[in-house]
A and B are shown apart, each in its own frame.
Chain A
Amino acid sequence: MSPVREPRHAPVREKRRPGLDRLRRDGWLAAHKWLILRRLVQAGFLAVFLTGPLWGVWITKGTFASSMTLDVLPLTDPMMALQSLLAGHVMETSGLVGAAIVLAAYALVGGRSFCGWACPVNVITDFAAWVRTRFGLKDAYPMDRRLRLLILGGVLAGSAATGTIVWEAVNPVTMLHRALVTGTLFGGGAALSITIAVLLFDLGVASRGWCGHLCPVGAFYALVGAKGVVRVSAVNRDACDNCMDCFAVCPERQVITPALRGAKNGIGPLILSGDCSNCGRCVDVCAKDVFIFTTRFHDGAGASVRGPAKKVLQGEKML
């Protein structure tokens, strides 16, 4: 880069990188803690399916649609079981038990944790969002986030009307996972096409378009996990300096506002929306340590926030 352009462009680029303040203060690892954890968990979910075909050590067989772990634990996609039921088929006991286990787990953990911590499509759409932020692309065609509920309704009604598990004809979640698990992603199948379509949709058509607006699987889990236990709390919201970094990284930015800015309206700091995928990126990027992971029963007030950080915050506030 020429010395003339450097100063003009540097601040602009900085502005486009949410989390830079946190990164500078605590280092890269701390500023990406939950992101790294999440990627590890996502990779782990894939790994348990892959050890068998790759090395002959079978941990989990099947795919996210339905699986069997260590020959004892059946797990079934509950939305799939619901569609099947509506289509007029009652699954085998193991399938139904599996669906009940998954349903209970996500209802307990809460929010769209599946989306943030298990779904392979999340990696694709997060990448698209990262590119959009990095290059400052404006939202092209804003859509209503309730569209996904409409699609979910359509999928369920469609299953009943056609007597088939309708969503499986197009579901990028199971298609991508299946292709990864069976090693057929680059075999010229539908999975790659659909994955590319989702990527391009999120890149060029609508910001956070797929997961945030259209995917009925996410909508389903948002309903299931609406009363879940694990929640993010904007416990330290008084320290917020409106840098907007959390809004920039949040895949469901509408969930932050009431918790972060609701003090004057008497709204607690807990992010209670089922749309929150518990991804923890807000926790990562915030240089003011506003957010923490906590439970629905404890908004985190009074919980220990790191001492030195607090001091820094107050110091800055006085300035």
Chain B
Amino acid sequence: MESRQAPAMTRRHMLSGAFRAACGAGLVAALLAVPARRRAEAVALRPPGAIDDAEFLSACVRCGLCVRDCPYNTLKLAEAADGQPVGTPFFNARTVPCEMCEDIPCVVACPTGALDKSLTDIKAAKMGVAVLVGQETCLNFLGLRCDVCYRVCPLIDQAITLERHHNERTGKHAVFIPTVHTDKCTGCGKCEKACVLEEAAIKVLPPALAVGVLGAHYRLGWEEKEKAGKSLIDGIIDLPDRMPEGPAPERLPGGGFKEFKP
């Protein structure tokens, strides 16, 4: 009886060992599959009223209530590949932009305050800032009158204006440059959605990425002057003239210096 049972146990051991190993390997593979799929794609924007990104993950419980109450299916919950932590709400402007509902149902639905209820005027939202990144492809930059981003902007002539500049290529025409005003732009993404190019020339970026930040120590002379009501410095400061050593270069009759290569 014992001799008959022993080989059976061995086979059982071997099979269960192989099964265990397969499970272990599969487990590792399943876990690695999550980060492996992570890839940088389109910019994932937060819903209106989203608190500062650093604090957002202390508040958002990833319940999806904002997504459910979005009437335009703009909002989605992130998957690993979407560039935001899994389960957090985001939208992709090129896919479905924010329609800027006046009652902001997504913010109303948020049970945690990850979307700040003090946002009651959708025009004050800061989901991102549109940036005209494709300055070599934008049709308006090329001198055509596409104007689509400007036309679709819910805050036309405030968030996007058309600024007239000289067309250097033709020498006699004008170009109308769509110009985003960061203080007005809500980042709804209508412009990015509507851009007629194959890849949008105007893109909404998170505010922190889109707008440069001046160093905290920077002071703008003209602003300081206005604040003080007068120039902050009395008279003119005479800085020392720094001249190249050796004999002074020869001046040319048309201006500039001989043998000077900038």
Contact = CB atoms under 8 A, between A and B. Distances in A.
Interface string A7-18: 000000000000
Interface in A75-98: 76-77, 80-81, 84, 87-92, 94-95, 98
A138 interface: yes
Given A197-B31, A201-B23, A91 B109 contact: no
B110 interface: yes
A187 B78 CA distance: 12
A268 interface: no
A164 B57 contact: yes
A137 B112 contact: no
Given A182-B64, A205-B24, A66 B58 contact: no
A70 B20 CA distance: 46
Contacts of A165: 57-58, 60-61
A91 B59 contact: yes
Contacts of B109: 61, 68
Given A61-B68, A189-B86, A168 B61 contact: yes
Contacts of A67: 63, 65
B77 A84 contact: no
Interface stretch (A173-181, A239-247, A259-267): A173-181
Contacts of B68: 52, 61-62
A81 B61 CA distance: 8
A319 interface: no
A52, A63, A175: most-surrounded residue (chain B CB, <10 A): A63
B79 interface: yes
B112 A91 contact: yes
A129 B245 CA distance: 87
B62 interface: yes
Contact of B58 (A74, A163, A193): A163
B111 A91 contact: yes
B174 to A, nearest CB: 48
A193 B63 contact: no
A62, A137, A168: most-surrounded residue (chain B CB, <10 A): A62
A219 B154 CA distance: 50
B-side interface mostly: helix
B112 A178 contact: no
A154 B109 CA distance: 31
Interface residues of B, number: 42
B147 interface: no
A84 B80 contact: no
Given A67-B65, A175-B87, A98 B54 contact: no
Contact of B77 (A87, A164, A182): A182
Given A91-B112, A193-B33, A194-B30, A66 B57 contact: no
Contacts of B62: 63, 65, 168, 174, 178
A181 B67 CA distance: 12
Contacts of B134: none
B117 interface: yes
A63 to B, nearest CB: 5
B97 to A, nearest CB: 21
B27 A92 contact: no
B64 A181 contact: yes
A129 to B, nearest CB: 14
B109 to A, nearest CB: 7
Interface in B87-118: 87, 109-113, 117
A164 B110 CA distance: 17
B23 A200 contact: yes
A174 B62 CA distance: 9
A137 B113 CA distance: 48
Contacts of B30: 193-194, 196-197, 200
25 contacts: A61-B65, A62-B68, A65-B87, A66-B61, A68-B65, A74-B111, A77-B61, A84-B61, A88-B55, A91-B111, A92-B117, A94-B111, A163-B54, A164-B58, A165-B58, A165-B60, A181-B64, A189-B80, A189-B81, A190-B86, A200-B26, A200-B27, A204-B24, A204-B27, A205-B27
Interface of B: 12, 16, 19-24, 26-27, 30-31, 33-34, 37, 54-55, 57-65, 67-69, 77, 79-81, 85-87, 109-113, 117
Given A65-B87, A87-B58, A168-B62, 10 more contacts: A67-B65, A95-B61, A138-B16, A165-B60, A182-B64, A184-B79, A204-B19, A204-B24, A205-B23, A205-B27
Top 5 closest A-B pairs, CB basis? A204-B23, A87-B58, A66-B63, A164-B57, A95-B111
